[in-house]
Amino acid sequence: MKLVKIVLIAVLAFFVSSCLTVEKKKYEFEFTGKSTGTLTITYVNLFSQMDDSLDISEEDFDELIEDYINGTSIEDEFPLATNIKKELYEESGKLNGKVTMDFTSLDAVRLYQFDKKSPICFNVGQTIDGESFESSNGTLGNSDYMNVVFWSGKAKKLEVVTTVDAYDEEDCVSLVKQYRKWK
C-alpha cells in the first residue's frame, strides 16, 4: 500500500511539474552595518519552458503569483531575512521580478565570512536554481572546483549576476502577456 502511494505521488509530481524559470538573477547586497543591510534580487526575464511542446505559461504564471508574490516561497528560502518586499514589473518587453529584504546577519542572505579579517563569500553553486556565475564586482574563485565569489571584508556593496536558463522563442513563452492581463 505504501509503495502505491509513493508511485502515485511521483506520477502526480511529474504531471504537475513546473516549467517556471528565469533567464538571469542579479544580487545586490548593500551593507548598512558590519553584518546588516539590504539584499535586492532582480529576476530578469521570467518565462515558462514548454512541457513536451505544450504551452503551460498560464499555470506557471499562476504559480508565480500564488507561490512567490502572494505566497511564502521567498520567505521559505530566506527564513532569517526580514521586511521582505516583492514586485513584478515589465521592462523592455520582458517580465521581471524584484525582491528586497533586510538582514541582520550574513547567514540570513547566504553570505559567509570566517572572521572579521577574512573576505566575504557567496557560493554561486549553492543556489536552488542551478545558477551559473556571469559577473560580479568581486573575484570568482576557480570555477572548475570552487564557484565562490569573494569580496574584501570592508566592501559595502556586493554584486553578483548569475544565469539560470537560456530563453529560446521556440521552446519558451514569456510571462509578460499574463502579467499585462493580471495587473
**107: its cell numbers:** 547567514
**30: its cell numbers:** 548593500
**98: its cell numbers:** 524584484
Q: Is 126 left (phi over 0), alpha (psi -120 to 50) or beta?
A: alpha
Q: Where are the domains of the chain?
A: 19-182
Write out residues in the chain with pLDDT < 70, as ranges.
1-18, 126-129
Question: In sequence order, what are the residues at sequence separation of 6 or more whose Cβ sits closer than 8 angstroms to the Cβ of residue 161?
Answer: 24, 25, 26, 27, 134, 135, 136
User: What share of the chain has pLDDT > 90, as a percent?
Assistant: 73
State pLDDT tens for residues 68-105.
999 999 999 999 999 999 999 999 999 999 999 999 99
State pLDDT tens for residues 59-77.
999 999 999 999 999 999 9
* 161 to 29, 58, 86, 164: CA distances (angstroms): 12, 28, 19, 10
Render 35-92 in DSSP notation, one character per residue: S-EEEEEEEEEEEEE-BTTB--HHHHHHHIIIIIISSSHHHHHSTT-EEEEEEEEEET
Q: For residues 122 and 133, is the Cβ–Cβ distance under 8 A?
A: no
Q: Give the residues across from 26 on adjacent strands.
A: 42, 161
**Res 13: pLDDT:** 36
